[in-house]
Amino acid sequence: MNILIIGNGGREYAIALKLKSEKNVSNLYFAPGNGATSKLGKNLKVKDYHELANFAKENNIDLTIVGPEAPLSEGVVDIFKEYGLLIFGPSKSAARLEGSKAFMKDFLARNGIKTAKYLNTDDFDRASKFIDSLNVPIVVKADGLCAGKGVIIAKTKEEAKSSAKEMLSGESFGDAGKCVVVEEFLDGFELSFFAICDGENFVSLPVAQDHKRLLDNDEGPNTGGMGAYAPSPLATTKLIKQVEEEVVKPTLKGMKSEGYPFCGVLFVGLMVVNDEPYVLEFNVRFGDPECEVLMPLIDGNLSEILLNAAKGELKEVKLKNEFAVGVVMASKNYPYSSTPKAKIEVLKVPQNSHIAYAGVSEENGEIYADGGRVLVCVGVAKSIKEARDRAYELCENVKFQGSQYRKDIAWQMLGKDKK
Ligand code: AMP
Ligand code: GLY
């Protein structure tokens, strides 16, 4: 198979690394890819999705996999389908589950799926009245895509009101904040639940836990995610069943009956409160860094799984009986500002560990840290502790100037005693 992967992060690298190990995969292409994906396949530079679809036609691409949310929300799947190409990911209409928080919240309400009490509005007075009816803390979210930054957890009603006002005026997030969602704060623990869907049927993947804050002990600013592990024992068999029955099934049924069946990865961001799963958000793609720990746990053939899903003929997925831990190494100024390039040196890659490259560029065959989340060190083992130890052993062997990483990934299972 010839496969095209859209995206340039560690998630796309991790997908490619898994595909690369499969006998039936011949060529991999990336649009645009990063400085390390060029070692796994060919990076493409194209100006738009039509040019990319033409490339796919001319180069006999059998399957296209979309990594990030932006191309999905921009309708890349619809365009590829117009060209008669097979592509794994939701249509533009279905991608609204992530692209519009207002759409997502109303969809949950229409379909009887548990979520935090909320109000969607573009009117400040209504937002203000609703804020007065809630207890603090209060959550205020911009409606549109804000790269994970459009969520304010306000400690006072005044702060909630001023955040809503700034968003509605377009000051904070431009058009993405012209409609806001105000919601009650849910106090529990978060899980990342993934289901591969073909429009009607689904298979669940191991449940992961992300670490969104920059610093140890969940302190510092929110980031795209500083590390993940899977499967999380916090997701009991009972909880998984409950999410499948009460969230995933009604979502697929509702999306189909409303006219936009969901094909792709349904990533349910859950808050578990007193053993009950509430949907915090939907994403319509693999999480990053969750994908980096999920890929090594898939025993079956990923190319076949995603091809069948794209055709609407999803089959079972075999999983390994192992754990994976991924530790993100970020550049010095992440998540505040850019960082000058720095050469990456890998002294040693211990057994059962590997690197998923993200924010990197290539020059004369050398790989450079190029800002943001640079790479993920992944360890795989029969226990979370061993997997964590392997991931950190690898981190100690990866050197670049200004690197930073959390030392407590998987603390929820291993306790706060740091490595
Ligand atoms: P979102 O982009 O909606 O996932 O929000 C980003 C982060 O904000 C989540 O991962 C949670 O940590 C937090 N968050 C969002 N909504 C709520 C809520 N209703 N209650 C508590 N925390 C929340
Ligand atoms: N790690 C969270 C996300 O990908 O949205």
Task: Give the residue extent of every domain in the chain.
Answer: 2-96, 117-184, 189-319, 323-414
CA distance 375 to 360: 8
CA distance 244 to 203: 9
Q: Name the CATH topology of 2-96.
A: Rossmann fold (3.40.50)
Q: How far is CA 187 from CA 116, 342, 355, in A?
A: 10, 40, 34
Report which ligand 2 atom has the smallest distance to the Cα of 289: 1
Report which ligand 1 atom has the smallest distance to the Cα of 183: 19
323-414: which CATH number, 3.90.600.10, 3.40.50.2300, 3.30.410.10, 1.20.1300.10? 3.90.600.10
CA distance 373 to 401: 14
Of 24, 35, 72, the C-alpha closest to 365 is: 35
Cβ-Cβ contacts under 8 Å for 334 (sequence gap 6 or more): 214, 223, 371, 372, 373, 404
pTM: 0.94
pLDDT, one tens digit for every residue, the chain (419 residues) = 999 999 999 999 999 999 999 999 999 999 999 999 999 999 999 999 999 999 999 999 999 999 999 999 999 999 999 999 999 999 999 999 998 888 999 999 999 999 999 999 999 999 999 999 999 999 998 876 655 557 889 999 999 999 999 888 877 666 665 788 899 999 999 999 999 999 999 999 999 999 999 999 999 988 999 999 999 999 999 999 999 999 999 999 999 999 999 999 999 999 999 999 999 999 999 999 999 999 999 998 999 999 999 999 999 999 999 999 999 999 999 999 888 999 999 999 999 999 999 999 999 999 999 989 999 999 999 999 999 999 999 999 999 999 999 999 999 999 876 55
Q: Does domain 117-184 have CATH number 3.40.50.1110?
A: no
Ligand 2 atom 5: residue of nearest CA: 287
Q: Calculate how far, in angstroms, residue 227's C-alpha sits from the geometric centre of ligand 2.
A: 10
Of 117, 142, 144, 96, the C-alpha closest to 258 is: 96
Ligand 1 atom 5: residue of nearest CA: 151
Best residue among 268, 290, 409 to mutate for probing ligand 2's pocket (most ligand atoms within 8 Å of CB) is 290
Question: Which residues have C-beta atoms less than 6 Å from ligand 1?
Answer: 116, 139, 141, 148, 151, 183, 185-186, 190, 212, 269, 271, 280-281
Q: Calculate how far, in angstroms, residue 419's C-alpha sits from the geometric centre of ligand 2.
A: 24
189-319: which CATH number, 3.30.470.20, 3.10.129.10, 3.90.870.10, 3.30.1370.60? 3.30.470.20
Answer left, alpha or beta for residue 131, where phi above 0 means left and psi between -120 and 50 means alpha.
alpha
Of 194, 326, 213, the C-alpha closest to 269 is: 194
Strands 276-283 and 219-222: unpaired
**In terms of DSSP H, where are the helices of 237-301?**
237-243, 249-257, 290-294
CA distance 234 to 412: 9
